[in-house]
């Protein structure tokens, strides 16, 4: 184990960067970055399971993350009883009818003999299913959205503890991945990429426009917390005592403790995931996955069912992304469907995996940490860069003011360059696969 020095070095460098941020900027910022680093690391782990273990190319991370995030709303928010009375039954019945007609269509396609009769039956089932679903579903959904629309207008959740939503979010994303994988796996590898790109746009569209489910662009805020909010912590005796002794204000101490609490929770989850992934990667199963990745034909000749194994690993990886999505919504305390954009939630995760080292769990984790840290800190850096570059121009020059207002976008260029340079000169990443 000689490479360990390098890994330890990388992680301590990361810790140092966070500590310096705390000392020179603020401890709240440093801990905020740390929390998102941990979540990013989990997302990168999920992508690494798909790409690093099996070579599957998922460009729909955003969709799986957002769908996992929905679980936080559905589990933790209190149910809206009026909305349930207004249309809960209709919506559920409508959804079931929709699912039943798709299932019926699949049955018709599989069980009937090929021919004109089969096509006619298929169309009949789909049309009838669509009309029935629409008739029952649409009025129920709009009835729900009419219930107290300023603050509710949706079904609410189950009112359970929010932490429970993490595994549920993973299950949500995994179920979605199973459906996508069933369709797109086993074909050419690009097809999975394009199918995931499509499904992620659709998930976001559903979250944005199905008000009865997620309040759409009105956002669900005030999701119950896993850790008491700083406002509540401030009144505790020990916080006040600590604040007195340390010289910080009550609010600062409370906010640092809240963030530390989340960091601890996330670290437990991340540690558990790394332990499981390492176990899996070094088991016969992991060796089989890598064998499939490196030579599908040979693996198939050895009697491995490549498509099924791919489906399995795709579902697992997406599940991890969904878990991260639920954790993120828990941390934010709100679901904002309008804020999901693919560059940030899909392609940035890819930069993390490539920079960190695909195929290595620790690589994905360090990639998540470094790239998220850079992503946050690149904004002021970009502004500084633009300021220096344009300092020769007059301060009221049009070019200068334009470049200064758009300077935040230089971080996109930096991330792209990081990806391209790593891919070209160190394709195995910072912590290469063993």
Partner 1 sequence: MDPLNAIVLLANFVIVPALAYGSQLALGALGITLIYGILRFSHFAHGDIMAFGTAIVILTTWGLQSAGITFGFLPTALLALPVGIAATVLYLLAADRTVYRFYRKVRARPMIFVMASLGVMFVTNGLTRLIIGPGERRFDDGTRFVFSVRDFREWSGLAEGLALRSAQALTLVVALLAMALLFWFLNRTRSGKSMRAYSDNEDLALLSGINPERVVIITWAIAGTLMVLAGTLYGLDKSFRPFTYFQLLLPFFAAAILGGLGNPLGAIVGAYVVAFSEMGITYAWRRFFQHMLPDDWAPAGLLQLLPVDYKFAVTFAILVLVLIFRPTGIFRGKSI
Q: Which is nearer to partner 1, 286 or 342 (CB)?
A: 342
- From the list 347, 362, 369, 375, which residue makes contact with partner 1 (rule: CB under 8 A)? 347
Are the C-beta atoms of residues 43 and 321 closer than 8 Å to each other? yes
Q: Which is nearer to partner 1, 247 or 392 (CB)?
A: 392
Shortest approach of partner 1 to residue 416 CB, angstroms? 3
Residue whose C-alpha is closest to residue 124's, from 152, 104, 145: 104
- Show contacts with partner 1 in window 152-211 (CB under 8 A): 183-184, 187-191, 193-195, 197-199, 201-202, 205, 208-209
Residues 70, 76, 78, 79, Cα dihedral to 10°:
50
Q: Is 434 in the site for partner 1 (CB under 8 A)?
A: no
Shortest approach of partner 1 to residue 418 CB, angstroms? 8
Q: Which is nearer to partner 1, 11 or 57 (CB)?
A: 57
Shortest approach of partner 1 to residue 28 CB, angstroms? 28
Q: Which is nearer to partner 1, 236 or 383 (CB)?
A: 383
Q: Is 354 in the site for partner 1 (CB under 8 A)?
A: yes
- From the list 419, 429, 430, 431, which residue makes contact with partner 1 (rule: CB under 8 A)? 419
Q: Which is nearer to partner 1, 44 or 162 (CB)?
A: 44
Shortest approach of partner 1 to residue 177 CB, angstroms? 15
92: buried, middle or exposed (CB in 10 Å: 19+, 13-18, 0-12)? middle
- Show contacts with partner 1 in window 379-408 (CB under 8 A): 402-403, 405-407
Q: Is 232 in the site for partner 1 (CB under 8 A)?
A: no
| Cα separation, 411 vs 408, whole angstroms | 6
| Cα separation, 133 vs 141, whole angstroms | 12
Residue whose C-alpha is closest to residue 56's, from 338, 315, 287, 255: 315
- From the list 35, 410, 430, 431, which residue makes contact with partner 1 (rule: CB under 8 A)? 410
Q: Is 350 in the site for partner 1 (CB under 8 A)?
A: yes
Q: Is 128 in the site for partner 1 (CB under 8 A)?
A: no
Beta bridge partners of 334: 221
Shortest approach of partner 1 to residue 11 CB, angstroms? 25
Q: Which is nearer to partner 1, 265 or 351 (CB)?
A: 351
Binding residues for partner 1, rule: CB under 8 A, are 55, 57, 59, 130, 183-184, 187-191, 193-195, 197-199, 201-202, 205, 208-209, 341-343, 347, 350-351, 354, 402-403, 405-407, 409-417, 419-420, 423-424, 427
């Amino acid at each position: 184990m000689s490479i360990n020095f390098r890994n330890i070095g990388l992680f301590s460098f990361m810790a140092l960067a966070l500590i310096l941020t705390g000392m020179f900027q603020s401890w709240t910022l440093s801990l905020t970055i740390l929390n998102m680093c941990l979540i990013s690391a989990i997302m990168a782990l999920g992508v690494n399971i798909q790409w690093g273990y099996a070579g599957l190319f998922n460009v729909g991370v955003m969709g799986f993350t957002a769908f996992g995030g929905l679980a936080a709303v559905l589990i933790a928010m209190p149910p809206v009883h009026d909305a349930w009375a207004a249309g809960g039954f209709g919506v559920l019945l409508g959804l079931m009818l929709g699912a039943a007609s798709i299932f019926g269509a699949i049955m018709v396609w599989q069980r009937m003999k090929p021919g004109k009769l089969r096509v006619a039956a298929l169309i009949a089932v789909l049309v009838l299913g669509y009309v029935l679903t629409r008739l029952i579903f649409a009025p129920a959904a709009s009835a729900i959205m009419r219930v107290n629309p300023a603050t509710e207008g949706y079904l609410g959740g189950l009112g359970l503890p929010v932490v429970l939503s993490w595994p549920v979010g993973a299950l949500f994303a995994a179920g979605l991945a199973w459906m996508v994988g069933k369709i797109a796996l086993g074909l050419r590898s690009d097809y999975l990429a394009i199918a995931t790109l499509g499904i992620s746009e659709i998930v976001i569209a559903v979250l944005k426009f199905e008000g009865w489910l997620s309040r759409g662009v009105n956002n669900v805020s005030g999701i119950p917390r896993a850790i008491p909010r700083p406002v509540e912590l401030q009144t505790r005796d020990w916080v006040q005592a600590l604040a007195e002794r340390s010289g910080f204000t009550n609010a600062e101490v409370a906010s640092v403790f809240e963030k530390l609490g989340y960091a601890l929770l996330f670290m437990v989850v991340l540690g558990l995931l790394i332990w499981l992934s390492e176990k899996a990667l070094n088991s016969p199963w992991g060796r089989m996955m890598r064998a499939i990745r490196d030579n599908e034909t040979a693996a198939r000749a050895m009697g491995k069912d490549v498509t099924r194994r791919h489906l399995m690993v795709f579902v697992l990886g997406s599940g991890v992304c969904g878990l991260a999505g639920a954790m993120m919504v828990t941390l934010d305390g709100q679901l904002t469907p309008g804020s999901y954009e693919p560059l940030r939630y899909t392609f940035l995760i890819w930069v993390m995996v490539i920079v960190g080292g695909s195929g290595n769990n620790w690589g994905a984790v360090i990639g998540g940490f470094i790239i998220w840290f850079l992503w946050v800190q690149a904004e002021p850096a970009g502004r500084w860069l633009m300021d220096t570059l344009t300092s020769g121009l007059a301060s009221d020059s049009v070019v200068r003011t334009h470049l200064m207002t758009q300077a935040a976008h230089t971080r996109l260029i930096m991330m792209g360059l990081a990806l391209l340079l790593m891919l070209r000169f160190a394709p195995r990443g910072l912590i290469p696969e063993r």
